[in-house]
Amino acid sequence: MRMERPLSNTGWTVERPVALAILRDLMDLTEISDKTPISFYGADGKNYQQGSTIGETTGEQNRWSYDERLFLEVEEEFDPDTTLTTPVYKDEYPAVFADKSIGLFVRPVYRKTKLSLSIRYRALDKNQAQRWRNEMTAKCSMRREQIWHTVNYSYTLPTENLVMIAHAHALKENVAGAGQTLNEYFTTHLTPLCSLQTDVAGQNGVWAVREAQSRVQGYFDFDAAPEKGGKEEDHDNWLITVSYVAWYMKPISTVIDYPIVVHQQLIDPKYLPKNNVGDLMERAIYYSKMGGAARHFEDAYRLAAIAGLEGAQIPAVDDWTPRSVKPTTVSVLTALVTITEQDKRSLFNLGELGDFQLRGEVLSWLRSGERVWINKSYQSILQLDLYKGRDLVADGQLVVDAQLNVSSTVDLDLTQVYHVRLSLVTNITYLRAEAITRLQNNPAAALQIVTGINAAIQGLTSTRADIGKRTMSDLDAIILTTKKYAPVYGRGFMLNYMSSFYTIVYGKYLN
Say if CB 223 and CB 140 are below 8 A apart.
no
pLDDT at residue 509 greater than cutoff 70? no
Of residues 135 and 48, the one with the higher pLDDT is 135
pLDDT at residue 496 greater than cutoff 70? no
pLDDT at residue 443 greater than cutoff 90? no
pLDDT at residue 66, rounded to an integer: 67
**pTM for the full predicted model:** 0.79
Least confident of 83-92, 179-188, 252-261, 291-300: 291-300
Instruction: Kindly state the helix (H) or strand (E) to which residue 140 belongs, with its residue range.
Output: helix 126-141
The SS3 of residue 235 is coil
pLDDT at residue 136 greater than cutoff 50? yes
What is the β-pairing status of strands 391-392 and 382-388? Answer: antiparallel
| Confidence category of residue 112, pLDDT binned at 50, 70, 90 | very high
Nearest to 406 by CA among 485, 314, 474: 314
pLDDT at residue 238 greater than cutoff 70? yes
Give me the mean pLDDT over the 489-506 stretch. Answer: 45
Say if CB 294 and CB 314 are below 8 A apart.
no
pLDDT at residue 346, rounded to an integer: 97
Say if CB 94 and CB 255 are below 8 A apart.
no
Give me the mean pLDDT over the 157-168 stretch. Answer: 96
Of residues 510 and 199, the one with the higher pLDDT is 199
Of residues 49 and 222, the one with the higher pLDDT is 222
Nearest to 240 by CA among 46, 42, 484, 30: 30
Give me the mean pLDDT over the 155-161 stretch. Answer: 95
> From CA 58, how far away is CA 48, in angstroms rounded?
14
pLDDT at residue 385, rounded to an integer: 96
pLDDT at residue 453 greater than cutoff 80? no
pLDDT > 70: percent of the chain: 74
The SS3 of residue 241 is strand
Give me the mean pLDDT over the 182-187 stretch. Answer: 96
What sign has the CA pseudo-torsion 486, 501, 444, 510?
negative
Of residues 432 and 464, the one with the higher pLDDT is 432
Give me the mean pLDDT over the 157-165 stretch. Answer: 95
pLDDT at residue 84, rounded to an integer: 81
The SS3 of residue 429 is helix
DSSP per-residue letters across 308-345: T--SEEESTT-----S---TTEEEEEEEEE---SS-SS
pLDDT at residue 64, rounded to an integer: 52
Cβ atoms within 10 Å, residue 298: 14
pLDDT at residue 175 greater than cutoff 80? yes
What is the signed CA dihedral for 54, 58, 59, 64, rounded to 10 degrees? -120
Of residues 477 and 188, the one with the higher pLDDT is 188
Say if CB 500 and CB 472 are below 8 A apart.
yes
Residue 74, beta-bridge partner list: 117
CA distances from 137 to 26, 225, 228, 239 (A): 13, 5, 12, 17
- Provide the 8-state DSSP code for 13: I
Average pLDDT, the chain: 80
| Confidence category of residue 414, pLDDT binned at 50, 70, 90 | very high
pLDDT at residue 129, rounded to an integer: 84
Give me the mean pLDDT over the 335-346 stretch. Answer: 96
> Counting beta carbons within 10 angstroms of the beta carbon of residue 55, is it exposed (0 to 12), middle (13 to 18) or buried (19 or more)?
exposed
Query: Considering just the CA atoms, what is the radius of gyration of the chain in Å?
Result: 33
Phi, psi dihedrals of residue 236, rounded to the nearest 5° = -80, -5
| Confidence category of residue 117, pLDDT binned at 50, 70, 90 | very high
pLDDT at residue 160, rounded to an integer: 94
pLDDT at residue 494, rounded to an integer: 33
The SS3 of residue 208 is strand
Give me the mean pLDDT over the 59-66 stretch. Answer: 53
pLDDT at residue 492 greater than cutoff 50? no
Give me the mean pLDDT over the 223-234 stretch. Answer: 70
What's the N-to-C CA distance of the chain in angstroms?
42
pLDDT at residue 222 greater than cutoff 60? yes
pLDDT at residue 205, rounded to an integer: 85
pLDDT in tens, 361-380: 999 999 999 999 999 999 99
pLDDT at residue 454, rounded to an integer: 64
pLDDT at residue 63, rounded to an integer: 54
pLDDT at residue 510, rounded to an integer: 38
Residue 314, beta-bridge partner list: 335
The SS3 of residue 253 is strand
pLDDT at residue 488 greater than cutoff 90? no
pLDDT at residue 296, rounded to an integer: 58
Name the most confidently modeled range: 230-234, 432-436, 444-448: 432-436
Say if CB 126 and CB 269 are below 8 A apart.
no
Nearest to 358 by CA among 372, 347, 348: 348
Give me the mean pLDDT over the 35-49 stretch. Answer: 70
pLDDT in tens, 267-313: 999 998 776 544 444 455 566 777 767 665 554 444 444 455 667 88
pLDDT at residue 141 greater than cutoff 70? no
